[in-house]
């Protein structure tokens, strides 16, 4: 997509406050972002990707077993790590990001789920996301994975992707070819007139769809979703296979 000027974000947020219910019993004593995949915590994997992509600030929100997540995150080198404290109230994905906006600044930022990552292909996916961003036409740009090429995911997909990457939700009775991979680029202006307190990121997706400003780009490589203990096993097997 043609763009008048290039832009590179400086800030990112890694969503790390969830309860991890689907990962029990592993999350009974270990917060989900700190669960290790092939010897490295999922939160550390996310931070490494951000650092490699030239990000400077990383906001990590905390709620469940918050002290463990906070102490782990503050050890990351090469990033200015900031903690968004949700100990008193879990704000869901949208509300958690809104609370962290003062730390993220006024420019577009990167968002990552801690439980999703890529075995990179030819081009690093964060670079692909940044290069695809067009401030004139987008409020959110989602990194998409084909549903047929996703490890640890068995759903019906999330979105249909049309001309120039414009996204629409699938019909409830149908199957969609793409799933949101848990990585996105978002402009803070989209949070104008959003609710106070907890709300889902889906509120922002719907808001951007209504204005024609929700876009996607297909990622390169293999997407790994670690949402369950079985998903963890699948991810570690995929990593082992990729090394062969």
Quote the mean pLDDT of the chain. Answer: 90
What number of residues does the chain have? 244
CA distance 53 to 125: 9
Which pLDDT does position 75 carry in this prediction?
A: 92
Pair of tokens at residue 122: 């030819």
Global pTM exceeds 0.85: yes
Closest CA to 92 of 172, 179, 198, 226: 198
Q: Dihedral, CA atoms, 148, 150, 153, 154, nearest 10 degrees?
A: 10
Q: Which residues are paired to 83 by β-bridges?
A: 60
Would you say residue 4 has pLDDT above 60?
no
Would you say residue 1 has pLDDT above 50?
no
Closest CA to 16 of 67, 58, 69: 69
A 10 A CB-CB count for 205 gives: 21
Tens of pLDDT, residues 78-113: 999 999 999 999 999 999 999 999 999 999 999 999
Number of H helices, E strands in the chain: 6, 14
CA distance 226 to 203: 24
Which pLDDT does position 125 carry in this prediction?
A: 93
Which pLDDT does position 244 carry in this prediction?
A: 59
pLDDT confidence band for 116 (50 / 70 / 90):
confident
pLDDT confidence band for 10 (50 / 70 / 90):
very high
SS3 category, 6: coil
DSSP 166: B
CA distance 71 to 100: 18
Calculate mean pLDDT across residues 30-49. 92
Better-predicted residue by pLDDT, 57 or 244? 57
Q: Which residues are paired to 222 by β-bridges?
A: 119
Which pLDDT does position 2 carry in this prediction?
A: 45
The superfamily in CATH containing domain 11-243 is Spore Coat Polysaccharide Biosynthesis Protein SpsA; Chain A (3.90.550.10)
SS3 category, 62: strand
Would you say residue 187 has pLDDT above 50?
yes
Which pLDDT does position 14 carry in this prediction?
A: 97
CA distance 31 to 69: 7
Would you say residue 3 has pLDDT above 60?
no
Would you say residue 235 has pLDDT above 50?
yes
CA distance 141 to 38: 29
Confirm if 23 and 233 have CB atoms less than 8 A apart: no
CA distance 37 to 26: 13
Would you say residue 173 has pLDDT above 80?
no
End-to-end CA distance of the chain: 36
CA distance 62 to 133: 28
pLDDT confidence band for 142 (50 / 70 / 90):
very high
Which pLDDT does position 73 carry in this prediction?
A: 95
Calculate mean pLDDT across residues 200-228. 91
Which pLDDT does position 71 carry in this prediction?
A: 96
What percentage of the chain reaches a pLDDT higher than 90? 62
- At residue 182, φ and ψ (nearest 5 deg) are 90, 10
């Amino acid at each position: 997509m043609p763009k008048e000027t290039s832009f590179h974000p400086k800030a990112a947020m890694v969503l790390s406050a969830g309860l991890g219910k689907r990962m029990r019993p592993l999350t009974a004593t270990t917060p989900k972002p700190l669960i290790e995949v092939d010897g490295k915590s999922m939160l550390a994997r996310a931070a490494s990707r951000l650092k490699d992509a030239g990000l400077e600030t990383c906001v990590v929100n905390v709620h469940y077993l918050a002290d463990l997540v906070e102490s782990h995150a503050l050890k990351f080198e090469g990033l200015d790590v900031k903690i968004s404290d949700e100990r008193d109230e879990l704000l869901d994905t949208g509300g958690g990001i809104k609370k962290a906006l003062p730390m993220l600044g006024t420019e577009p930022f990167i968002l990552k789920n801690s439980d999703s990552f890529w075995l990179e292909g030819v081009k690093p996916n964060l670079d692909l996301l940044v290069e695809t961003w067009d401030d004139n036409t987008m409020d959110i740009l989602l990194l998409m994975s084909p549903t047929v090429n996703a490890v640890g995911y068995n759903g019906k997909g999330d979105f249909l992707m049309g001309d120039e990457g414009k996204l629409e939700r699938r019909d409830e009775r149908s199957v969609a070819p793409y799933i949101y991979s848990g990585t996105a680029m978002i402009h803070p202006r989209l949070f104008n007139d959003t609710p106070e307190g907890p709300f889902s990121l889906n509120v922002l997706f719907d808001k951007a769809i209504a204005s024609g400003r929700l876009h996607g780009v297909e990622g390169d490589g293999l997407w790994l979703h670690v949402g369950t203990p079985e998903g963890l096993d699948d991810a570690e097997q995929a990593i082992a296979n990729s090394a062969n």
